[in-house]
A and B are shown apart, each in its own frame.
Chain A
Amino acid sequence: MTVLALGWPGALGHPFFLHAVLAGAAIAAASGMVGYFLVLRAQVFTGDALSHMAFTGSLAALAAGIDLRLGLYAATIAVALLLGTLSRSGRADDVAIGNVFAWITGLGAFFLTRYSTSGGADNAGAGVRVLFGSIFGMSAGQAGTAAAVAAGVCGLVLAAFRPLLFASVDEAVAAARGVPVGLLGYGFLALVGVTAAEATQAVGSLLLLGLLAAPAGAAQRLTETPGRAFALSTVLAVAEMWGGLSLSYAVPKMPPSFAIMALATAVYAAAFAVGGWRRRAPRLAPA
């Protein structure tokens, strides 16, 4: 790690790397925070559905000839609210979610064909860019917008932290105490939608699930105190993002998305080993 860190002053001289580091940190922080609640509320599959929606939304926007980000945000937020409505009525289980998003993926293939047959070789790579991300291709403006949106998400999650935690851990009691559980659920899903759209620009729609699930899963393995786990999830996400970026800078053949995912998975696997050991330890002690 230190060797990679030494390369940073040089790497930061490149605008593309600087943009990636700034936007990446903001995106990772938002993903880590939102991901913590996603895992806590057992809504990871919803996050997966949103990642597929991000793919279809961006390609629909491209096929329609408008800004990709417009489709990205509109589609993910709309589907997040739709999924919220479906689960509120108690009908949508994983089968219903699976059906809807399998079809949405097919629709994405449709828009991809429309778009890539309309504009030649340059358009043909669009699908790959959306699916796997291109964080090193961000302009200063894009990075600034991404950082601002992510900062907004982080602020909202922090502001709603206590009631959201209460509603996630014990919905019935929270509702009885007057916490607006339904509203929080909707608001949270909308935030997940925004985060999914954000993260898609960095790691791509297929991989954003890793950014949402891995740091949060690792953090919850390492500590059971909610506040600590939440902070740890955020820190881990940012560290994995920066580590992945430098790894990818050091080894140019390695796409940044892969480096970030590999690091996140390695950290999760390590947390699994350590956490499993820690949990078994007290049981051995009294004997």
Chain B
Amino acid sequence: MLIADGTAGWSWNPVADLQQMWAFPFMVNAFRAGAIVAVLAGVIGWYMVLRRQSFAGHTLSTVAFPGAAGATLAGVGAVYGYFAFCVGAALVIAAVPRAGRESGGGEEAAVTGTIQAFLLGAGFLFIALYKGFLGGVNALLFGSFLGITTTQVQVLAVVAAAVLLVLAVVGRPLLFASVDPAVAAARGVPVRLLSTVFLVVLGAATAATSQITGALLVFALLVMPAATAQNLTARPVHGIAASVVIALAVTWTSLAVAYYSPYPIGFWVTTFAFAAYAASWGARLVHERLGRAPDRGAAAAGGAPAWTSGSVL
């Protein structure tokens, strides 16, 4: 069961295990990349969950797959494909008017779903055209941490720094616009522009992240730590910090476990993240039963923290 290329299984000595694991440059790179990705996904994901844009986030992350496949077919670096497709799809989704919201958001969802299916189909076409690439499909979709180069880590760091910088600048108005778009717009906050900026930033973050976790599982890292954090605390700064810490813990644990197991990293990331989410639900329920919940009214109203209730959807 426990096979990793050329290494012995794990011992009961964690220090020796870590030393042995980090003797491989690719593992060191994987941990570095994992840390960057976790911080990025933790912060962006928190806003995504707050804005109830999980479906858009999911679509942007799956779009990374045709991007990478297309770039491989065209003979350029997969990185360019990731970014071109993710940011491009973000702009398309942002261009669709959100007016459908009043009618339950059915149309926006239909557009998003169609874009997603079409681009995934395009990815399949690229693969069909590029013979012999078939084995790479699973790596593109489900991630592989074995081949991360130092250059990739550097690119990732630059993208992450840029994304976090943008978020630092628009963070406060974006929070306002997410919590109460109508009031924010009335106060002169450019809600529409912020929404577009956020989607583009989300696209860039998913493009960076999918190189590590695979296109289908970025979404897990975006949504789960953030949802867990929002179960634990309603305060923005605490929530973002908790989201980042959870994402980091999940990513590093998954890397260590995946190193010793034959199963893909994506499986471990989703499983640990889901366990944390389920635990946060349990903790919250216990808290509410004991009657010590900080905002019982909001919890009863549907699980959103008090200051998000009745705002975004």
Residues on A lying within 8 angstroms of B by beta carbon are 39-42, 44-45, 47-48, 90-91, 93-100, 102-103, 105-107, 109-110, 112-114, 116-117, 124-125, 127-128, 131-132, 204, 206-214, 216-217, 220-221, 253-255, 257-258, 260-262, 264-265, 268, 272
Chain B residues closer than 8 Å to A214, beta-carbon distance: 110, 113-114, 117-118
Q: Within residues 251 to 293 of chain B, which ones have a CB less than 8 A from any CB in chain A?
A: 262-264, 266-271, 273-274, 277
Tell me the smallest distance from the CB of B297 to a CB of chain A, in Å: 14
Chain B residues closer than 8 Å to A93, beta-carbon distance: 52, 302-304, 313
Closest chain A residue, CB of each to CB of B218: A102
Bound together, the chains give a CA A178 to CA B111 distance in angstroms of 34
Bound together, the chains give a CA A217 to CA B303 distance in angstroms of 30
With A107-B267, A255-B124, A264-B114 known as contacts, the answer to whether A94 contacts B55 (CB < 8 A) is yes
Chain A residues closer than 8 Å to B127, beta-carbon distance: 128
Q: By the criterion CB–CB under 8 Å, are A127 and B52 in contact?
A: no
Tell me the smallest distance from the CB of A270 to a CB of chain B, in Å: 12
Bound together, the chains give a CA A97 to CA B219 distance in angstroms of 12
B14 contacts the other chain (Cβ, under 8 Å)? no
B161 contacts the other chain (Cβ, under 8 Å)? no
Q: By the criterion CB–CB under 8 Å, are B223 and A98 in contact?
A: yes
With A95-B223, A105-B270, A113-B262 known as contacts, the answer to whether A206 contacts B109 (CB < 8 A) is no
Bound together, the chains give a CA A146 to CA B60 distance in angstroms of 32
Bound together, the chains give a CA A41 to CA B116 distance in angstroms of 19
Which bracket fits the contact residues of B?
35 or more
Q: By the criterion CB–CB under 8 Å, are B121 and A210 in contact?
A: yes
Binds A, one of B81-89, B131-139, B162-170: B131-139
Residues on B lying within 8 angstroms of A by beta carbon are 49, 52, 54-55, 57-58, 62, 103-107, 109-118, 120-122, 124-125, 127-129, 134-135, 137-138, 141-142, 214, 216-217, 219-220, 223-224, 227, 230, 262-264, 266-271, 273-274, 277, 302-304, 313
Tell me the smallest distance from the CB of B126 to a CB of chain A, in Å: 9
Q: By the criterion CB–CB under 8 Å, are B106 and A40 in contact?
A: yes
**Cross-interface CB contact of B263 among A94, A113, A257, A264, cutoff 8 Å:** A113
**Cross-interface CB contact of B54 among A90, A95, A206, cutoff 8 Å:** A95
Bound together, the chains give a CA A45 to CA B137 distance in angstroms of 24
Tell me the smallest distance from the CB of B12 to a CB of chain A, in Å: 26
**Cross-interface CB contact of A44 among B109, B122, B124, B214, cutoff 8 Å:** B109
With A98-B54, A128-B134, A213-B113 known as contacts, the answer to whether A206 contacts B62 (CB < 8 A) is yes
Bound together, the chains give a CA A221 to CA B111 distance in angstroms of 11
Bound together, the chains give a CA A153 to CA B146 distance in angstroms of 45
Chain A residues closer than 8 Å to B124, beta-carbon distance: 132, 204, 206-207, 255, 257-258
Tell me the smallest distance from the CB of A128 to a CB of chain B, in Å: 5
**Cross-interface CB contact of B138 among A47, A112, A258, A264, cutoff 8 Å:** A112
